Structure 1
């Protein structure tokens, strides 16, 4: 039973949040700037047995660890082929020319094509069943990569890996976005996204250990990398089938009054989510007709090229510095570790200042400086290695800011589900370019390609920032047509004049 409306006592730590939710539900004029509707339900305040901070912590504990572990395993299973390459995968499978690069590329074909359908199915079926099932699928395919015997085998498994993994990233971002207010979302988005950094660091350490199992039971070390990491993923996916969280409306671990309060504060921040209806092809068409959605795609597309170039080829670059196989894996760990710490610092500052744009551009500039060093320094290994650290920490700090910024500026389930999937799907076209950026060991050519695309990302961020500022100014002088129904307002999502975009 939901708690009864109550007047917040003076002075508690959560007074401001309760007032915001109360203003929203009573239809006060101050609430119009938050994108809410005037005929909302009765006032709902924070239940007396808890506080907003404790309730947010409860959400964190029931949601964030699951999405972190899920994407950590997905990213690890995606890029461990780079570690396997250092242990002789190409030689054993008889790969030559650009065949290794093609094996990397084919992963992105289904990954790009099925992002939007995956998010639609996620909402229809539920995150617990859909994401957990996909986890079991890509874990099994990773194990199969450890058993392939030729080029056709690695192509087939990489394609299927992309098919099962396509829903992980946009699905988790979509799920997170439906639980948190915009001003508190970035730390969670970056913590989730930084599982890629943890996967990079953990993958290097794990590969150095698994690689030492070379010829154990007749299997090469690179095969053990796939077999053991894939088996671990399957076990985790099976556990998640019974434990993975869903949307607010599905959370059985919340009391009724807690669920009502969470929905009220999200409604006050983002407007009505329209969680009760299915996503249609008409919704997809409406979202894709918004030019800002395309800008979000280009932001991510530009930064994906250097990001995947680093993930797939940094072990090869480090190995070119003269390290053996084990030392190569160990030296790949520090850049990822630094990237994780820096990403969390940037995310915390971004949430504190309630600003995204500058915290996207600053890390991008750090990455550009790293590429500039590598293009001009060729005989100083400590400086070159430090440049790799700058590149990694810059890119993997900017990416979660971009995704959170764009996603949380989309209002409603249908616009966020389609828009988030589009951004990730379109952006990952850059992954195809990345797989051919360092063909033939021509690192200079690869660095130039990476710098060019990361500059495209920065330019797209600038245009997007200018666009949403112009939209906010336009909305300030815009009113809704008289007679518009509540359902029509809900369908507008962030296009509602009452919804203000976060810069």
Structure 2
């Protein structure tokens, strides 16, 4: 059965439920406004053009800034600052601690404040600290700059994913998340080219090549952050680039997609608590970590891995470009197909298995050409899995504050595992880095197990709801399946609002 047919069948099933018969749903948003003249397809294209390109640029700069230290390392960073390999690894590690700590609070601030203000503020300041990395003269200075870089970068990735989920239907979100995230793979390709070009400035102004990598990339981020205040749009009910009629259509279509809180929601601690005690949040954290730890290991050490299997520093940077270009393509293709076919869990399992094969080859291969080929396979288990997992988690969490906290927790836990990835590719293990590849394989296995359990559990819950085992008591509705343990409500609208994705009529996406 196709997705449209499956959706129609679900709608028929739900409309015939005793819980829904003769009872008002969520009140029609802006019922007094006529939206008959709005072309929905043109509206979505308008939203895409207003949101996706610039947000992708911001994430490109973000990922470029956090991983450029891997490129800078090839141009004498450790020797000039007189730091050991262990100290270098600690500068990578400290970033992930501050990055993970501030992700959840940042998402709450994003919801409370305007995205145009909060995201621009974060970007401006992480650009400042990125630039300052280029003028440090010792290990302690570099360590401090990496900490603050993590503090201010923390809010962008979880914030933008949550922000996009407030604009699109569940079957539209995956491809947007994939296009946005593909900026990470583009930054990998662009970073290698840019580092090779900037290296030619070695000695200009008395500064080495690695310092200019930090300075120029940081200044670009500062400029982007300053202009973002006028480019980033706010949430749908406040977006100034849309007319009142267009804003109304956006909200109504989200509410029709079981996003009941699309018109706005007041902050209540119970919404945050509901995220903390939701099993989906915790399994999602493990599933996400299964691809994010490999992501950071891959992006931070790919130039070094290629360098150690027989290529010069500049050529190693250039050889990363085709790998990242492939990652970008596969990420977008998977995002597009998964939105239309559904079954995000099946996509995750298949992609994880490809990544598993890639890292097994990297672990056992002793031939540079075969190892280089394996890096392409490895990207399949990393880059497309991340936006697909985020889309899957977002699809199955209702309530704007709950979703912001759940996504923040999932992404935060995944990123704290970046601290692990920073320490597994040790200099003494070169050129084949067996320990690093082995630990990445372990994380991919975690991802496979978590994905399998998550898919089984949400399918089991859907079946229970179809049998009426989760039906609430609704005043005025005679439903033999209703049970007070599932809640007592005046009407269906109240049940939706109070229970979110725990409401008996909410169907999880597999």
- Is the TM value for this pair above 0.5? yes
1:382 counterpart residue number: 369
1:230 Cα shift?
0.5
1:233 counterpart residue number: 221
C-alpha distance in 2, partners of 1:456/1:215? 46
1:37–1:164 Cα change, 3 Å: farther
Match of residue 223, structure 1, among 194, 211, 224: 211
C-alpha distance in 2, partners of 1:330/1:383? 18
1:495 counterpart residue number: 502
The CA RMSD over aligned residues, in Å, is 2.3
Which stretch of the first structure deviates more once superposed, 155-164 or 111-120?
A: 111-120
1:37 Cα shift?
6.3
Match of residue 473, structure 2, among 476, 481, 489: 481
1:281 Cα shift?
3.6
C-alpha distance in 2, partners of 1:247/1:37? 26
1:287–1:218 Cα change, 3 Å: same
C-alpha distance in 2, partners of 1:57/1:31? 38
Conserved in 2, the CA contact under 8 Å of 1:37 and 1:271? no
1:37–1:127 Cα change, 3 Å: farther
Q: Which runs of 5+ in 2 are unaligned?
A: 476-488
Report Cα offsets for 1:345-364 as digits up to 9, x if no partner: 11111112122111111111
C-alpha distance in 1, partners of 2:194/2:201? 11
C-alpha distance in 1, partners of 2:318/2:502? 49
1:186–1:203 Cα change, 3 Å: same
1:10 counterpart residue number: none
Conserved in 1, the CA contact under 8 Å of 2:352 and 2:380? no
Which stretch of the first structure deviates more once superposed, 252-261 or 218-227?
A: 252-261
1:337 Cα shift?
0.4
1:435 counterpart residue number: 422
Q: Which runs of 5+ in 1 are unaligned?
A: 1-15
1:247 Cα shift?
0.8
Match of residue 423, structure 1, among 403, 406, 410: 410
1:334 counterpart residue number: 322
1:270 Cα shift?
2.3
Q: Please list every run of at least 4 consecutive aligned residues from structure 1 whose deviation after the TM superposition is greater than 4 angstroms.
A: 27-33, 42-46
TM-score by length of 2: 0.90
Following superposition of structure 1 onto structure 2, how do residues 316-465 of structure 1 map, counting pairs within 5 Å?
316-378=304-366, 380-442=367-429, 443-465=433-455
1:99–1:118 Cα change, 3 Å: same
2:184 counterpart residue number: 196
Does 1:244 pair with 2:232? Answer: yes
1:261 Cα shift?
1.1
1:177 counterpart residue number: 165
Report Cα offsets for 1:362-381 as digits up to 9, x if no partner: 11111111111112210x22
1:242–1:37 Cα change, 3 Å: farther
1:3 counterpart residue number: none
1:124 counterpart residue number: 112
Conserved in 1, the CA contact under 8 Å of 2:233 and 2:240? no
C-alpha distance in 1, partners of 2:276/2:235? 24
Conserved in 2, the CA contact under 8 Å of 1:135 and 1:234? yes
1:99 counterpart residue number: 87
C-alpha distance in 2, partners of 1:52/1:29? 28
Count of equivalent residues? 480
Report Cα offsets for 1:19-65 as digits up to 9, x if no partner: 99xx99xx9558989xx961422769994444221111011001111
Following superposition of structure 1 onto structure 2, how do residues 55-74 of structure 1 map, counting pairs within 5 Å?
55-74=43-62
1:488–1:385 Cα change, 3 Å: same
1:13 counterpart residue number: none
1:51–1:45 Cα change, 3 Å: farther
2:478 counterpart residue number: none
C-alpha distance in 1, partners of 2:70/2:268? 39
Conserved in 1, the CA contact under 8 Å of 2:133 and 2:145? yes
C-alpha distance in 2, partners of 1:62/1:428? 28
C-alpha distance in 2, partners of 1:354/1:256? 32
C-alpha distance in 1, partners of 2:65/2:97? 17
Which stretch of the first structure deviates more once superposed, 436-445 or 182-191?
A: 436-445
1:9 counterpart residue number: none
Conserved in 2, the CA contact under 8 Å of 1:107 and 1:159? yes
1:289 counterpart residue number: 277
Conserved in 2, the CA contact under 8 Å of 1:292 and 1:467? no
Q: Secondary structure at the match of 1:41?
A: coil
1:218–1:345 Cα change, 3 Å: same
Conserved in 1, the CA contact under 8 Å of 2:126 and 2:149? yes
